[in-house]
Amino acid sequence: MWQFRVSMKIKAEYKVRSMAGENVVIMQGTVGCDMTRIISLNNTSLLLWNALQGKEFEVADVANILVETYEIDTEIAERDATAWVKKLHECNLISE
């Protein structure tokens, strides 16, 4: 199973903005950037992003936020947290 075992951080140059009713991730101050790839965040992803931006975190921290916010058990929260962190990693939005 794929796991992160180190602390990580959302890269500071990325910010979330509301555009056309969607929460999208943009890179601050980039002129002529590649706009062929848009990263949209659902409400849960936005909650996690806002709670963790600017902080060092691990998958367990993400899972704890999910457990505290929603009525889900720890195993489901850990699975969802791992998937969320994996997606951020694939999109190069976090640093380790």
Q: Per residue in 66-92, pLDDT tens?
A: 999 999 999 999 999 999 999 999 988
Q: Is 90 left (phi over 0), alpha (psi -120 to 50) or beta?
A: alpha
Model pLDDT for residues 14-43, shown as the tens digit of each residue = 999 998 899 999 887 655 555 556 789 999
The chain-wide mean pLDDT, for the chain, equals 88
pTM of the model: 0.83
Q: What letter does residue 31 receive in the DSSP assignment?
A: T
Domains and CATH numbers, the chain: 11-95 (1.10.10)
Residue 1 is predicted with a pLDDT of: 40
Look at residue 96 in the predicted model and tell me its pLDDT.
82
- Per-position DSSP letters for 4-15, written without gaps between them: --S-BEE-TTEE
| Residue 81 CB coordination number (10 Å) | 24
End-to-end Cα distance, the chain: 19
